[in-house]
Structure 1
Amino acid sequence: MKALLLADFGAPYYPAIREEHPDLELVEAYSNEDILSKISDAEAVFGYLTDKQFQAAKNLKWIQTLDAGMEGLFNAVPEIADTDVLVTNARGAGAPMIGEHGVTLMLALARQLPRFWADKSNRKWDQDGALEVVEYLGNKTCGIIGLGKSGKEIGWRAKALGMTVIAVDEQPVDGDPIVEDVWGLSKLNDLLEQSDYVVVTAPYTAKNAGMIGEAELSRMKSSARLVVTSRGRLVDHDALVNALNSGGIAGAGLDTTVAEPLPADNELWDLPNVIITPHIAGNSEKAHLDERTVDIFAENLRRYVSGHPLINVVDKQLQY
């Protein structure tokens, strides 16, 4: 069996995989020309393909991608959805980091850290004013939209802080012991109405773009905050800006936005009740994330050669 290794960050880890599978032909290829010259007889690929590369892969049976989000592959190779090629992703590699980052955004909003950073810059000690705005998370409700691996990592951390955690998910999900209730998407409005912090961790597909729009934001408490760690396109940008400006919701913590990079003239930059981070929730020390991503491929490679079911299999019709 021949597997093409396209992820150059995996180079330090490939020798150990070769040692584990001495009978496999594990070939590194990093340039387009190199990939095209070697892919025709490859049975498996670790990385992403262009449409031209996919067309040249005459023997391809399995692709292991490098991220949890799948729009990159399906946008580049839309026809893959109608083939028998098995697709798996790296779902979970960045989940613990997303868990930390999501809760960090909630804590920063509750404890008003942007305000105090501004006060520090102005050498301003405003204890009386601060006492009126800081909040306690422990008696609040965290509502998670999309209880996958990242959602669960946020959920147990929120529960550890004393929060009540509820969730909705398109698929049946067992939330025990983290979540009080996991509902179907039909109860999204109930989650929005009950939550003090609404956390969006659902995967993006063309079908759920803008799923949090004006009507959904209007269901939220005026004291509630929205945290987005998966894809900014799940939230209608104009509706969010209007809700933040009008006091419809109290604030937002955004690791992802509709447009990335967020243009310098975008109105979100100027809103004092918004925290923005540049789509890094799933990242950490580079070697740590790289190793976790390669580990998922290595585990699936073991399963593939032994004929066992793979983990992180992507539903190509749902595209996640």
Structure 2
Amino acid sequence: MKLVIYPAVDVDRLSRICEAALPMDVINAGTLEIALNEMENADAFFGKLTPELLQRAATLRWVQSPTASLEHFVFPELISHPCVLSNMRGLFSDVVADHVLGFILCFARNLHIYVRQQQQGLWSPVGDQSYVANFVNAPGTVLPMDRAHQHLSDRTLGVIGVGSIGQEVLRRGAAFGMSLVGVDARTKTLPGVLDDVWPVERLPDLLQVADYVVVAAPLTPVTRGLIRRPQLRMMKKSAVLINVGRGPIVDLDDLIQSLQAHEIGGAALDVTDPEPLPADHPLWTMSNVIITPHVAAASPKIAERHLETLLENIRLFVQGKPPATQVDKAAWY
């Protein structure tokens, strides 16, 4: 058996791959020409597969993507090919969920507003502070207290896409005492957290009840443009939309219009379409929007997790077993 790697990996990583792959031969292709020649009798492939490489493959049975998302990896010939495809899902679940809870806490406690005020040397509590004894209220935006500073246990968290990331988001929401709802095409229940995960047909129900709507779904032909103006209008006027999935799932033009029309309360985006977001984009200057530059998955632990997932799937392949992170090629996840 033969595993072809292209582009080539570093020496340390290659050593661990070769150990896991025994007795399979491992070709660490340093050039496209080498990769093309070696693909003719390759059983497995890791790296960036192209139609040109796949066309050379006569015995290919397994492909391992180096990424979790597959919108830039799959292509028609790969979908129709009999080989098994696996991805890198699960590497970032806890990290991205932490990022989501950071967004939620910012909106619940107005931290994004106070950070901006700090830069101006401005002491201006949000909301009516008359309930505080002997407090002299400084000028500021007056909101009802139930909106200005929230108890998360009084709020509902809705997650679109209850995969590995969505599940971790819901677990964190449960720890804060939030009410939980979720929609997913496959997941039916999250034991100990959410007994009934709704089918995607109930997305309107989720949008209507959730105070925080988290997009944690992968980008697929089905989810592209999933959140547009009609869906945003279903949300509570005080609700916050959070996107840590993929930028094209949320139509930014429609989101801007909804924010400007006060149809929703705010948005937190780690992903946008396009990326990077242009410097003159109107979202940058909206006080009820938080933008982070696609860093929700950033963590010093990811590189080792990435390698361990690859090694596990290699060992399973050698044993004649399916990879732990096998995907549905046609569905892109």
| TM-score, L = length of structure 1 | 0.92
Q: Is 1:72 aligned to 2:87, yes or no?
A: no
Q: Give the direction of change, closer, same or farther, for the CA distance of 1:171–1:211 in structure 2 (3 Å limit).
A: same
1:250 matched to which residue of 2? 265
Report the Cα distance in structure 1 between the residues aligned to 2:83 and 2:35, rounded to whole angstroms.
Answer: 18
Q: Give the direction of change, closer, same or farther, for the CA distance of 1:216–1:11 in structure 2 (3 Å limit).
A: farther
CA contact (8 A) 1:224 1:251 kept: yes
1:119 matched to which residue of 2? 117
Report the Cα distance in structure 2 between the residues aligned to 1:307 and 1:230, rounded to whole angstroms.
Answer: 33
Deviation readout 1:94-142 (Å, 9 max, x if unpaired):
1111111111111112222221111111111223658552322222110
2:170 matched to which residue of 1? 155
Q: Is 1:48 aligned to 2:63, yes or no?
A: no
Q: Give the direction of change, closer, same or farther, for the CA distance of 1:118–1:182 in structure 2 (3 Å limit).
A: same
Q: Is 1:142 aligned to 2:157, yes or no?
A: yes
Q: Could you list the runs of 5+ residues in structure 1 that have no partner in the other structure? A: none
Deviation readout 1:234-254 (Å, 9 max, x if unpaired):
112221111111111111110
Superposed, 1:266-305 pairs within 5 Å as 266-285=281-300, 288-305=301-318
CA contact (8 A) 2:183 2:199 kept: yes
Q: Give the direction of change, closer, same or farther, for the CA distance of 1:21–1:70 in structure 2 (3 Å limit).
A: closer
Report the Cα distance in structure 2 between the residues aligned to 1:97 and 1:8, rounded to whole angstroms.
Answer: 28
Deviation readout 1:251-302 (Å, 9 max, x if unpaired):
11101112111122222112111111111212212xx211111211111111
Structure 1 counterpart of 2:308, which letter?
Answer: D
Structure 2 counterpart of 1:95, which letter?
Answer: S
Q: Is 1:93 aligned to 2:91, yes or no?
A: yes
Structure 2 counterpart of 1:57, which letter?
Answer: A
CA contact (8 A) 2:21 2:314 kept: no
Q: Is 1:165 aligned to 2:180, yes or no?
A: yes
CA contact (8 A) 2:189 2:195 kept: no
CA contact (8 A) 1:10 1:290 kept: no
Residue 54 (structure 1) shift: 2.0
Report the Cα distance in structure 2 between the residues aligned to 1:266 and 1:180, rounded to whole angstroms.
Answer: 41
SS at the partner of 2:315? helix
CA contact (8 A) 2:158 2:206 kept: yes
Aligned with 1:103 (options 101, 116, 129): 101
Q: Give the direction of change, closer, same or farther, for the CA distance of 1:136–1:34 in structure 2 (3 Å limit).
A: farther
Superposed, 1:156-235 pairs within 5 Å as 156-235=171-250
Report the Cα distance in structure 2 between the residues aligned to 1:219 and 1:10, rounded to whole angstroms.
Answer: 50
The percent identity for this pair of structures is 35
Q: Give the direction of change, closer, same or farther, for the CA distance of 1:309–1:49 in structure 2 (3 Å limit).
A: closer
Report the Cα distance in structure 1 between the residues aligned to 2:331 and 2:123, rounded to whole angstroms.
Answer: 52
Q: Give the direction of change, closer, same or farther, for the CA distance of 1:128–1:115 in structure 2 (3 Å limit).
A: closer
CA RMSD across the alignment: 1.9
Report the Cα distance in structure 1 between the residues aligned to 2:163 and 2:172, rounded to whole angstroms.
Answer: 14
Between stretches 95-104 and 188-197, larger displacement belongs to 95-104
Report the Cα distance in structure 1 between the residues aligned to 2:14 and 2:276, rounded to whole angstroms.
Answer: 32
Q: How many residues align?
A: 316
Deviation readout 1:124-167 (Å, 9 max, x if unpaired):
12236585523222221100001000001111011111111110
Q: Give the direction of change, closer, same or farther, for the CA distance of 1:68–1:271 in structure 2 (3 Å limit).
A: same
Give the greater-gyration-radius structure (CA).
2
1:39 matched to which residue of 2? 39
Report the Cα distance in structure 2 between the residues aligned to 1:11 and 1:235, rounded to whole angstroms.
Answer: 41
2:326 matched to which residue of 1? 313
Between stretches 4-13 and 16-25, larger displacement belongs to 4-13
SS at the partner of 1:143? strand
Between stretches 51-60 and 264-273, larger displacement belongs to 51-60
CA contact (8 A) 2:9 2:28 kept: no
Q: Give the direction of change, closer, same or farther, for the CA distance of 1:309–1:275 in structure 2 (3 Å limit).
A: same
Q: Give the direction of change, closer, same or farther, for the CA distance of 1:180–1:297 in structure 2 (3 Å limit).
A: same
Residue 5 (structure 1) shift: 2.5
